Amino acid sequence: MNSQVEDLRRENARLQRAVGELSMLNDLARDLGASLDPDKIMNKIVRRAIKAVDASQGVVTLVSEAEHSSLKTLIRTSSASGERRSFHLNESVLGWMLINRKPLLLNSPRGDDRFKGVRWDESVQTLLAAPLMTKSRLIGVLAVYNKRQGATFTDDDQRLLSIIAAQSAQIVENTRLYEEEQTLSRMREELQLANEIQTGLQLKDYPDLPGYDIHGISEPARSVGGDYIDFFPIPGNRYMLCVGDVSGKGLPASLLMANVQATLRSQAVWSDSAAECLSRANAQLCDSVRRGNFVTLFYGVLDHAGHSIEFANAGHNRPIIVKADATTFELELGGLVLGVKRDFPYSQDSVALDIGDALCVYSDGISEAMNLHRQQFGEERLLRVIVEHRRASAEDLSKAILQSVQDFVGQAQQHDDITLLIVKRVA
């Protein structure tokens, strides 16, 4: 009779435990289904797991096997009681989980033969971990530490944590995918905004100057580029002309480009020379551009009445002059990129334009364009194209250069923006 009563008590306790587990799992499912916030979901999983197995602390670790890299761990959240510091899952345990993909119970981690030589945090006394699996792929690990009251984790604890991990895995994966989708959506919005900024900055028409033929092109490598081109009237019946390369990509590069354009246009109006304009613009950009960003720029001032160009260069490719008799030379003057050293002393020079002369200002997206054999287009090929088409209009010369680059590159992906400005004296 006593034996039967004891059996009934044990069965009743088992049933009560099962009801409690089912209630806890039902609450967890309801909580997880009510949110798409990654941090909230991770915290709910950890809190429920800690309570379910009466642990002191827990952590969810997401893992990914990124291409060309070793196992990457992303510690997302941990929950602890008291003043103890949060644990991070041991790399050895992560490696074991990646290989075995099954629950791990360690009530004496320092004496376990599977982890000889592993240095454990002195506060870790017991550990229980379960894999987060989706479609036979390990996406993370749910781990809890230190059973309360100095007790050890049981087989029932391991079974229950495995159920929690299995129930949570797909939710975690869906949340990760949702987070990636949101990030991608924000990137698309940023690129669209950057594209709108750049489109607004691009020149729509070039001025019809007596005796001159002017044309420019700018082909971004991606939806948003970092090259800058401008041609703008300034006092004294002159025009400023610029070709530059703004560091960075996306919205930051677009905002920097807008800053550069506004700075140069404002300084060009008040500066007496090309060197003074670059010096002032550089000082202003050093104050406003964040550290690590910079701009390469060729800056010129066209005096179309006197048929000359005064110029300064801030680390940009050296422009080319081609004359009517096929002679070519580069504008050798150089200088430091803008936005790096506030007090850099820029120099200037000038060049006369005879009838038939053409100035070609280009970005390194032309000279450094690569084909599938990783050969660069180079300046020699550029010179040959310029000489061959020197009698063509500025627009046709621009198109000939661009076509030559495209023919050379072939099926290779364009990695840098292609920008070109042609100023040709025709009379």
pLDDT tens digit sequence for 22-33 = 555 455 555 555
Q: Give the residue from 361, 263, 347, 364 showing the smallest Cα distance to 310.
A: 347
Residue 14 has pLDDT above 80, yes or no: no
Residue 76 has pLDDT above 80, yes or no: no
In this prediction, residue 323 carries a pLDDT of 95
Torsion angles phi and psi, residue 382, rounded to 5: -60, -45
Phi, psi of 328 (to 5 degrees): -130, 150
Degrees (nearest 5) of the Cα angle 180, 186, 190?
140
What average pLDDT does range 103-128 have in this prediction? 90
Q: pTM for the complete prediction? A: 0.60
Q: What is the pLDDT of residue 98?
A: 87
Least confident of 374-383, 399-408, 409-418: 409-418
Beta bridge partners of residue 128, listed in sequence order: 105, 144
The owner of tokens 């800690």 is: 50
Pick from 71-85, 223-237, 355-369 the range whose average pLDDT is largest. Answer: 355-369
pLDDT band at 1 (very low <50, low <70, confident <90, very high): low
Q: What is the pLDDT of residue 67?
A: 45
Dump the DSSP string for 206-252. ----TTEEEEEEEE-SSSS--EEEEEEEETTTEEEEEEEEESS-HHH
Cα(48)–Cα(30) distance, integer angstroms: 12
**Region of poorest pLDDT, from 59-73, 110-124, 256-270, 399-413:** 59-73
Question: Does the structure show a pLDDT above 60 at 413?
Answer: yes
The mean-pLDDT minimum among 44-48, 84-88, 113-117, 275-279 falls in 84-88
Higher pLDDT, 189 or 427: 427
Q: What pLDDT score was predicted for residue 27?
A: 58
pLDDT, one tens digit per residue, over 315-335 is: 999 999 999 999 999 999 999
Q: Are residues 274 and 312 in contact, defined by beta-carbon separation less than 8 angstroms?
A: yes
Where residue 63 falls among pLDDT bands split at 50, 70, 90? Answer: confident
Q: How confident is the model at residue 68 (pLDDT cuts 50, 70, 90)?
A: very low
The Cα 349–Cα 347 span in angstroms is 7
Give the C-alpha separation, 284 to 269, whole Å. 15
**At residue 378, does pLDDT exceed 50?**
yes
Average pLDDT, the chain: 83
Lowest mean pLDDT among 74-78, 117-121, 254-258: 74-78
Please state, for a pLDDT cut of 90, what percent of the chain lies above it.
44
- The winner for highest mean pLDDT among 12-16, 56-60, 169-173 is 56-60
Q: Mean of the pLDDT values across residues 164-191?
A: 78
Residues 6+ apart with CB under 8 A from 5: none
Q: How far apart are CA 158 and CA 164, in angstroms?
A: 10
pLDDT of 211: 93
Question: CA-CA distances (angstroms) from residue 338 to 227, 296, 420?
Answer: 14, 6, 20
- What pLDDT, on the 0 to 100 scale, is given for residue 238? 93
Dihedrals phi, psi of 64, to nearest 5 degrees: -145, 145
Note the pLDDT of residue 34: 53
Average pLDDT over residues 16-39: 56
pLDDT (tens digit, 9 = 90+) per residue, 180-229?
777 777 777 766 776 666 666 666 678 889 999 999 988 877 655 668 88
What does the pLDDT read at residue 158?
93
Amino acid 318: pLDDT: 95
